[in-house]
Amino acid sequence: MNPLLQTKQLGQRIWLDNLSRELLTGPLQKLIQEDELAGVTSNPAIFQKSISSGAGYADDLAKLKTQNLTTEQRFEALAVPDVQAACDLFTKAYTDSQGLDGYVSLEVSPHLARDTVGTEAAAKRLWAAIARPNAMIKIPATPESLPAFTAAIAAGINVNVTLMFGKPHCDAVFNAYVAGLRQRIAAGGDVRQIRSVASLFLSRVDTLVDSKLDAIGGDALLLKGKAAIAMVRTAYAHWMQRWNSSECADLRAAGANIQRLLWASTGTKSPAYPDTMYVDELIGPDTVNTLPDATLAAFRDHGTAAAKLTQGVAEAEATLAKLAGLGIDMDAVAVQLQVDGLKLFDEAFDKLLALLG
């Protein structure tokens, strides 16, 4: 059986980490029909690659350059219709799953990552522009943007929180989500239709931690490639415990949906690791895994669908303890990687805007 279909049966949904007009012309519909793909994500780097390739954008871009628009307005004029078209392809999946599946994410400008007011305004503007119930607005998990995330949830907007790299981010995002739900309930709003995911990045964690282990050498090398999966297993266990505890009993009673953890950056960057490592090891209920094209194809071809996410939690905790004993501070790793990730998104967005000038 197709491992992608088996994964769905185990409670995890697979999304594609790509969006382009070329994809919208046929390949996406095929993925939805044959693999039961449940969503699509985008980011500045993805759009920069898609638009720079020229496929399907040249005519529209030429017209937009004749209009009195900023480069960001030109980008949105290209991106919003793509997101709308993808949302429409997922309408049946969204309806049939009663709102669990079928989401398409569009990110607010990474230039707003340290701007609370600007992020909230952009999230509300993009949500209104897309005007689809199965859209998600991506907001980074920076300290400045999380209040905007809370406000978006309170306003009834679906949100994909991005650029999370460890437990500190998980705790802060969880707190911001439940705060938004409670604000909406207090205002008399309905929380039953709100959906959100929290995107925890994996391969970048191992890349950074592995470099630290290489510098230490010796037995430390035995821990290479284990940090990200250990971090995810422990984060998931804590996340589920909090949601299902008395802490969130009022939200569950109001019909609120759990904010699902999403695994991002799941293409392995080291050739020493199996190409489906971040899929095979992390399948479990109430989660999403967003895969680049190559990883999706690899998992379909030779992946193993098994509910491993909840296995080996004690071993994962021991791995994190060993890393701490070597002087590797996983909280500091998370902070550094978020700063680095924001820089990469800024650079990709700047390159994208340069194309549109």
Please compute the mean of the pLDDT values over residues 124-145 and round it to a whole number. 98
Please compute the mean of the pLDDT values over residues 262-278 and round it to a whole number. 95
* pLDDT value of residue 325: 98
* pLDDT value of residue 86: 98
**Taking 90 as the threshold, does the pLDDT of residue 228 lie above it?**
yes
What percentage of the chain has pLDDT greater than the value 70? 99
* Nearest of 152, 154, 149, 157 to residue 133 by alpha carbon: 157
Per the document, the length of the chain is 357
* pLDDT value of residue 79: 95
Number of domains observed in the structure of the chain = 1
Instruction: Name the β-bridge partners of 159.
Output: 137, 196
Helix axes 116-130, 146-154, angle to 10 degrees: 40
Chain-centroid distance of CA 5 in Å reads 20
Query: Which are the catalytic amino acids?
Result: 138
* pLDDT value of residue 56: 85
CB atoms within 10 A of CB 229: 23
Please compute the mean of the pLDDT values over residues 98-115 and round it to a whole number. 97
- Assign residue 334 the CATH number of its domain: 3.20.20.70
The rounded distance, in Å, linking the Cα atoms of 195 and 259 is: 7
Whole-number average pLDDT of the chain: 96
Instruction: Name the β-bridge partners of 136.
Output: 105
**Taking 90 as the threshold, does the pLDDT of residue 194 lie above it?**
yes
**Taking 90 as the threshold, does the pLDDT of residue 277 lie above it?**
yes
**Taking 80 as the threshold, does the pLDDT of residue 214 lie above it?**
yes
* pLDDT value of residue 1: 86
What is the extent of the structural domain holding 150?
Answer: 3-355
* pLDDT value of residue 45: 86
* Nearest of 174, 172, 179, 175 to residue 197 by alpha carbon: 174
Helix, strand or coil for residue 26?
A: coil
Q: Band of the pLDDT at 179, cuts 50, 70, 90?
A: very high
Q: 303-344 pLDDT, tens per residue? A: 999 999 999 999 999 999 999 999 999 999 999 999 999 999
Q: What is the pTM of this model?
A: 0.96
Please compute the mean of the pLDDT values over residues 39-56 and round it to a whole number. 87
Do residues 279 and 253 lie in contact, with contact meaning Cβ atoms separated by under 8 Å?
Answer: no
Please compute the mean of the pLDDT values over residues 207-217 and round it to a whole number. 98
* pLDDT value of residue 32: 98
Please compute the mean of the pLDDT values over residues 32-50 and round it to a whole number. 93
